[in-house]
């Protein structure tokens, strides 16, 4: 394995600054690069705020905060990159930007330096071709906020070598994170499964079987720290639509984009950033109540039969599909979902608790009613045909 002594982060936005904060917390000197002085200053201010909150909450001492802050060096060029061992790019999710950055990194880093991308969905194999060092290019997908969230998905590209994979997994574990190796696929593991659950919450609302508040409340009571519609408002309906379209283009009709999401983006009901999404918000971001203007996009008069488990059935099914494809190890799947999403029980644990035969029965019933979103995974059927009620 390669010894990582010095790290660079490209991009000082929300994720880049948070990743840098996670690195300095473990005593790594970090070179933080941005394209302009204004962006760099904003990123350094974000890190200062993270450290200040840590002191206020008693998690670190003022001396520790000062020492960590001194580990950060801001830069607008590649002058100091010749001795960097690992670069983590956290630039915007636009292929042209990443292509340009990766080319520049290949020209300015030493030949043994590893290039990691924090992309949440882009092909690592394609990014490897841009980098000119595919064997040393890998996905390192942190979850937001990176300095607090435990999960990091490690995604090798087609040509990533074993030494790079082992080095990055060891490095991430050294940060105190859960490193889960994921085979390359659209949206990787956690966001892929999350997409099925998020879409189904929109279908339920669109069908009029439950209100925004009922869907979020029952889902939280069932298994989640925050409801899917409140979460969509936090992240933005426009971002959600972009991801949903991408997933449908890659996986087909089981990821069909709910028309409700399209309608919301057209109406500029994007969530907290426009003060109106599934809910209405005041200037401080506090929730004022449900957005009644959504009534024009949903059916009425059919509420009363919503069960939170309906949202998790597509996620469970996608978990079995991911296992069929060897996207991750079976023992890592629930750990990743719980660490990445805050689920109290992962999808495989939910399936076990439900019983695989009942899980399949519910999937088949919903498949008859709703179509491709619930077509049972062949692996789930095989377990049931073999008389197994648990995947353990």
Domain residue spans of the chain: 7-181, 190-297, 309-385
CA distances from 313 to 9, 227, 350 (A): 38, 16, 9
CA distances from 303 to 14, 201, 231, 362 (A): 39, 14, 22, 20
**Beta carbons of 78 and 50 less than 8 angstroms apart:** no
Task: Quote the pLDDT of residue 302.
Answer: 57
CA distances from 52 to 45, 46, 56, 58 (A): 10, 10, 6, 10
Task: Quote the pLDDT of residue 301.
Answer: 62
Q: Is 147 a known active-site residue?
A: no
Domains 7-181 and 309-385 agree in fold? no
Q: What is the CATH number of domain 190-297?
A: 1.10.1040.10
Q: Phi, psi at residue 288, to the nearest 5°?
A: -100, -25
Pick the catalytic residue from 110, 141, 147, 370.
141
CATH T-level assignment (fold) for domain 7-181: Rossmann fold (3.40.50)
Task: Quote the pLDDT of residue 26.
Answer: 96
- Give domain 309-385's CATH architecture: Orthogonal Bundle (1.10)
Within 10 A of 92 (CB to CB), how many other CB atoms are there? 11
Each residue's pLDDT tens digit in the chain (392 positions)? 788 999 999 999 999 999 999 999 999 999 999 999 999 999 999 999 999 999 999 999 999 999 999 999 999 999 999 999 999 999 998 999 999 999 999 999 999 999 999 999 899 999 999 999 999 999 999 999 999 999 999 999 999 999 999 999 999 999 999 999 999 999 999 999 999 999 999 999 999 999 999 999 999 999 999 999 999 999 999 999 999 999 999 999 999 999 999 999 999 999 999 999 999 999 998 999 999 999 999 887 655 688 999 999 999 999 999 999 999 999 999 999 999 999 999 999 999 999 999 999 999 999 999 999 999 999 999 999 999 999 98
Beta strand pairing call for 137-142 and 151-156? antiparallel
Q: How far apart are CA 139 and CA 186, in angstroms?
A: 12
Shortest CA distance to 156 belongs to which of 130, 137, 179, 175?
A: 137
Task: Quote the pLDDT of residue 176.
Answer: 96
């Amino acid at each position: 394995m390669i010894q990582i002594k010095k790290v660079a982060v490209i991009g000082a936005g929300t994720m880049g600054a948070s990743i840098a904060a996670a690195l300095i917390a473990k005593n790594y000197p970090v070179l933080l690069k941005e394209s302009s002085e204004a962006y760099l200053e904003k990123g350094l201010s974000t890190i200062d705020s993270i450290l200040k909150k840590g002191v206020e909450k008693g998690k670190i001492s003022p001396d520790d905060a000062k020492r960590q802050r001194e580990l950060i060096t801001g830069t607008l060029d590649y002058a100091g990159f010749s001795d960097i061992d690992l670069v983590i790019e956290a630039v915007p999710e636009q292929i042209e930007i990443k292509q340009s950055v990766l080319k520049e990194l290949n020209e300015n880093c030493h030949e043994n330096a590893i290039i990691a991308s924090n992309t949440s969905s882009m092909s690592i194999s394609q990014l490897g071709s841009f980098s000119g060092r595919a064997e040393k290019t890998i996905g390192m997908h942190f979850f937001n906020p990176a300095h607090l969230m435990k999960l990091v998905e490690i995604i090798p590209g087609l040509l990533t070598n074993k030494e790079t994979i082992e080095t990055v997994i060891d490095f991430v574990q050294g940060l105190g994170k859960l490193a889960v190796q994921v085979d390359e696929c659209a949206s990787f593991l956690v966001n892929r499964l999350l997409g099925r659950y998020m879409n189904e919450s929109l279908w339920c609302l669109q069908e009029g079987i439950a209100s925004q508040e009922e869907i979020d409340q029952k889902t939280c009571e069932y298994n989640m720290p925050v409801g899917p519609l409140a979460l969509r408002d936090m992240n933005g309906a426009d971002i959600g639509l972009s991801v949903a379209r991408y997933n449908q283009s890659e996986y087909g009709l089981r990821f069909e984009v709910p028309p409700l999401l399209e309608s919301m983006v057209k109406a500029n009901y994007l969530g907290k950033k426009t003060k109106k999404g599934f809910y209405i918000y005041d200037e401080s971001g506090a929730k004022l109540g449900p957005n009644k203007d959504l009534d024009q996009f949903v059916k009425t008069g059919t509420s009363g039969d919503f069960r939170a488990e309906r949202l998790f059935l597509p996620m469970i099914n996608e978990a079995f599909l991911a296992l069929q494809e060897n996207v991750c190890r079976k023992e890592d799947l629930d750990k990743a979902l719980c660490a990445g999403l805050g689920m109290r029980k992962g999808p495989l644990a939910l399936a076990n608790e439900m019983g695989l035969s009942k899980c399949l029965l519910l999937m088949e019933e919903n498949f008859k009613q709703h179509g491709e979103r619930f077509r049972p995974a062949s692996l789930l059927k095989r377990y049931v045909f073999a008389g197994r009620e648990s995947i353990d």
